[in-house]
Structure 1
């Protein structure tokens, strides 16, 4: 892969300008930005007539208040397939902690390949939630093997006494090829699980996106935004093979302390196939508070063998997503806001080459870390790479210069790795300067 390919990849992940005024009141209705190229598919109430979902594509559909929705996939015998389902409750719907969705992948005999359930959680506020399914192909065998037809089954779970509203869905399918040689059969042990040291420095303003496809690219650094009650913001962080991500979300004081809202601020990490990895929440009474993700392991292929989701989810490089939600209940006690939001994002460790895959994933860049290097260095958000500001700076309208970072992707060439090794070394050195430590 040549250097120009990295620039092309960035063009597929455009940066938001990230500018806003503090007195700007942004929509807190919880509206989700579906992918512009999402294809509409109708849900089927049985496997008969289920519409096909193809790898690499994104789809938009609906989930009725009662009943189960079926979709179909035609899979080969060699690739592991992931399907994420983002459920979007209406912004004015009445939800409780236990309301959510269950996503399963089944074969034609009705045997379950995987199942995952996600609920609204402590926020008790309508916001996008993601459950995912997997058809795994493993050297030691799996419950669902062989080429053929598989079904994605989406159903509602609810603890509400009243019938819930219908929800919209966004579905995305990704395939991962097998390795050329069998890898480790156990998850890595001995990684640094100590709480990470908080990233410090001057904050750079960056307005979050309203969906996965419009997530705002962030690098390592301190980032400032504003969030309104009921609003969900999406950020995209490139994480390379062998590196370790950390993140904290801080909600500023409102100046008007009031009654405590439990689970008011929620921060969730999703991996490149949008599967939830880890989340953290914090209550809010108008006084400054924060939510910090538990320590996450370095990105390794073998992490998939771990039981804990926060370990098994860190199984490939690529764009990880930080999703922040502020409970709509905050407005009842502290007003409509918006409230100041600060994200502290850390990336530790040295980037490594990707494992040897026997083919290409679909879509082709899904396991390649692509994004901003603007968070590195002095925290100003400006890249110091020669000529880098010309790659995407025009799209930012004079804001922070953005450039492509493609680290350890499948099929990465030696020239790109050499260039990235220089950037990685600089990132570690500058990140250490920001923390006041000495790089290893």
Structure 2
């Protein structure tokens, strides 16, 4: 007898990574703990290029970056693909940071030429929270540098104010490749595009709990979503945005009794699939009354956006999962109490999906699939969606194997009955009693 087990996967967030569990390596256990990617690979960056460890495309790594230092990693690139490296820096909850503290990521060639770089700062909301930036080597039609195959180097730097806590920042590092194009397209970002904010999403609010990192960010679709956030905590969400589409987002912090005020109370940032900042807002003054933060309109996702000098355009260069990070200043607890605060997100994805660029190979993470749309609708993080897909495959395989077995048993029974009937016929001779057993061939 064969038992076929089918596991039902219900919509919504199935579980959250708890501090101390696999993927949550911050030992603080507080609301600001960051859940590092499952299966993350430890690595130790070098002080120089000669002994820099190699990053493999598609892998995620964990390192630590001291104050005022830099780490170097090697990239072995071909002469066709666009290459990206991102770094998420995670200061310890409760540490002191300054507005000017900076994380910078660069990709450099063998001659030290900067192929592409970005940085991130705490800005006016000077409290510890995960910072993220990305760098790139982009293949260009008329490019003269950073175009050949060979070794390149990812350099991650940290600059800190003298008054900031000197403890090392944990790093989550990713390396991805984007295939080149079969045929070149436009090289100028569009000048005219819909920039008016859409009306508030209809249908009322629904609850959805945010994740604790990019890797376990909760999926969202167009709609109004409610959550709770504690002072010092960062919530992460992800939204699939396809080619030609725009993402609009706003966040509301609920009211609370009490007196006083906190500057830079709520920091909201939108990131692209490689954790590059598209736009952000962090100057909210919270006085106990409800406050709203509207991110600037995001231009439609287009391949040619990468040729624009403005980050708002150049970082909206590919389709895939776009991320929202919402962080609440820990000083809010001092003025209004250490407790969860109401948080409302309004998300709108506008526009029909356009055809993808003529990639010369699989797009990898720079794509929106039907499975991605389903994961967003169900509120799943990346690991949850992967486990859900695995269980569906296991269930389908089990049902398929069970069906084959049942068909085989049915065929065996039918052949046995026919054999018995032939034996029982008068002209069958003295063949003896019916003989039952599996057929000698199928």
Contact 1:99-1:160 within 8 A present in 2 as well: no
1:124 to 123, 126, 130: 126
C-alpha distance after superposition, 1:82-129 (max 9, x if no partner):
110000001121111111211111111111112222112222111100
Contact 1:50-1:72 within 8 A present in 2 as well: yes
- Report deviation, 1:45: 1.2
1:354 to 353, 356, 359: 356
Structure 2, unpaired ranges of 5+: 1-8, 17-28, 390-442
Distance 1:143 1:286, change over 3 A: farther
Determine whether 1:367 maps to 2:367. Answer: yes
Contact 1:40-1:61 within 8 A present in 2 as well: yes
Q: Which residue of 2 aligns with 1:221?
A: 223
- Report deviation, 1:196: 2.8
- Report deviation, 1:37: 1.5
3-state SS of 1:302 partner: helix
Structure 2 distance, partners of 1:319, 1:69, is 27
Structure 1 distance, partners of 2:221, 2:51, is 44
Q: Which residue of 2 aligns with 1:276?
A: 277
Distance 1:70 1:239, change over 3 A: same
Out of 304-313 and 184-193, give the one that drifted further.
304-313
Structure 1 distance, partners of 2:376, 2:52, is 45
Distance 1:142 1:59, change over 3 A: farther
Q: Paired residues, what number?
A: 363
Distance 1:336 1:200, change over 3 A: farther
* Deviation beyond 6 Å, 4+ runs, structure 1: none
- Report deviation, 1:138: 1.2
Determine whether 1:85 maps to 2:78. Answer: no
Contact 1:237-1:371 within 8 A present in 2 as well: no
C-alpha distance after superposition, 1:42-81 (max 9, x if no partner):
1211112111111111111111123221111111111011
TM-score (ref. length: structure 2)? 0.77
Contact 1:244-1:299 within 8 A present in 2 as well: yes
Structure 1 distance, partners of 2:352, 2:94, is 45
Structure 2 distance, partners of 1:142, 1:80, is 15
Distance 1:374 1:203, change over 3 A: farther
- Report deviation, 1:39: 0.6
Structure 2 distance, partners of 1:337, 1:304, is 42
C-alpha distance after superposition, 1:116-151 (max 9, x if no partner):
221122221111001111111111215311111111
Structure 1, unpaired ranges of 5+: 1-10, 20-26, 383-390, 397-440
Contact 1:76-1:148 within 8 A present in 2 as well: yes
Distance 1:87 1:374, change over 3 A: closer
Q: What is the root-mean-square deviation of aligned Cα atoms in Å?
A: 2.6
3-state SS of 1:212 partner: coil
Out of 214-223 and 154-163, give the one that drifted further.
154-163
Distance 1:127 1:144, change over 3 A: same
Determine whether 1:141 maps to 2:143. Answer: yes
3-state SS of 1:331 partner: helix
- Report deviation, 1:29: 3.5
- Report deviation, 1:290: 1.1
Distance 1:374 1:162, change over 3 A: closer
Q: Which residue of 2 aligns with 1:187?
A: 189
Q: Which residue of 2 aligns with 1:5?
A: none
- Report deviation, 1:198: 2.4
3-state SS of 1:371 partner: helix
3-state SS of 1:110 partner: coil
2:103 to 101, 104, 122: 101
Distance 1:65 1:286, change over 3 A: same
Structure showing greater Rg: 2
TM-score (ref. length: structure 1)? 0.77
